[in-house]
Amino acid sequence: MLRVAQVADQLRNEVAKAIVGQQSVVDQVLTAFLANGHVLLEGVPGVAKTLLVRAVSHALSLEFTRIQFTPDLMPSDVIGTNVFDPRTIDFVLRTGPIFTQVLLADEINRTPPKTQSALLEAMEERQATIDGERRILPEPFLVFATQNPLEFEGTYPLPEAQLDRFLMKVLVDYPEPQAEMEVLRRFGAGFRAQKLEQVGIEQVIDLEGLRALRAEVDAVRMDEPILEYIYQLVARTRDAHEIQVGASPRAGLALMSCAKAAAAMRGLDFATPDDVKQFAMPVLRHRVLLRADIDTQGFTVDEVLNDLIESQPVPR
């Protein structure tokens, strides 16, 4: 697992050329790439969510495409459609921007549910159906969706079925004061996020290298007590008094994948309770629904989950 840890360190160094600070967020995004899972990034505008995904995609030599989700966006604008070509007197397939390796769905909650649902099949099956014909998406295919936690006017909340398809929900906060000062210095020295190529981010590995890393992650050992710990964390969300809808079995699989990737990134060939605990919050926070009376009292999902996680006995 030393190779995973070494590559992870190289990726952190390359991403740091564009992103200042936000180390926890960077590690969670790298974990998602290794675990082959989609991520919902939530944060106010201007905290480098798009830049982070672009930087990691470049360092991994992956094709990156961004879609700005708007109220008038149609499903065909996402997955594509067959159009009539008068020169050949036939219909030809015009694929949509979803046919990429890394898709950034910017402000995904600004488009109606009909268009949001265009991503459901793609996120789960890694395929898209156009006019009844199945089209396989490139490998890998990862969705990084962003949303603003403060602005709700003109937005459409993501349905639970779609939320459950995200491996993690990562909260992107304001940078630390020292980091924000460094952002100002870099901007004054000429750095522009729109011209990422000028930063000199080097490609760390190619697609075959990423596949090899994922094979190492899959080989990370998870002992029975760790599996029991994962199950208990997920199962308790279904029994907690404050929670109306608990996490599905998919949450346990997601937590296991993240824990394996986290262990490999630390150079270990076995997962520990700390690896599980580290990712319990981002894996569970978007998969549970608080009871209405708990919500109106001002409690947040993170507060309820934090109490649950901290009170769960940790295996030795």
Instruction: Tell me the mean pLDDT in the region 199-204.
Output: 84
For residue 289, pLDDT over 90 is answered with: no
- Annotated domain spans of the chain: 2-209, 220-316
Q: Enter the pTM of the model.
A: 0.89
E runs forming strands in the chain: 38-42, 64-68, 80-85, 90-95, 102-106, 127-130, 133-136, 142-147, 166-171, 243-245, 289-290
| Residue 96 confidence class, pLDDT cut points 50, 70, 90 | confident
- The larger pLDDT score, comparing residue 191 to residue 306, is at 306
- pLDDT at residue number 40: 95
- The larger pLDDT score, comparing residue 252 to residue 151, is at 252
Specify whether the CB–CB gap between 167 and 257 falls below 8 A: yes
| Residue 80 confidence class, pLDDT cut points 50, 70, 90 | confident
- pLDDT at residue number 143: 94
Alpha helices (H) in 223-300, listed in sequence order:
224-239, 249-265, 273-284, 292-296
Instruction: Tell me the mean pLDDT in the region 52-57.
Output: 91
- The larger pLDDT score, comparing residue 314 to residue 298, is at 314
Common-topology check for domains 2-209 and 220-316: no
Specify whether the CB–CB gap between 137 and 98 falls below 8 A: yes
Q: Is 154 left (phi over 0), alpha (psi -120 to 50) or beta?
A: left
- pLDDT at residue number 2: 63
- Our CA angle for 133, 120, 11, nearest 5°, is 110
Q: Please list, in sequence order, all residues whose beta carbon lies within 8 angstroms of the beta carbon of residue 129, skipping any fewer than 6 positions away.
A: 79, 121, 135
- pLDDT at residue number 298: 78
The CATH fold assigned to 2-209 is Rossmann fold (3.40.50)
**Is CATH 1.10.8.80 correct for 220-316?**
yes
Q: Residues 150-193: pLDDT tens digits? A: 766 667 788 888 888 999 999 999 889 998 898 888 888 887 77
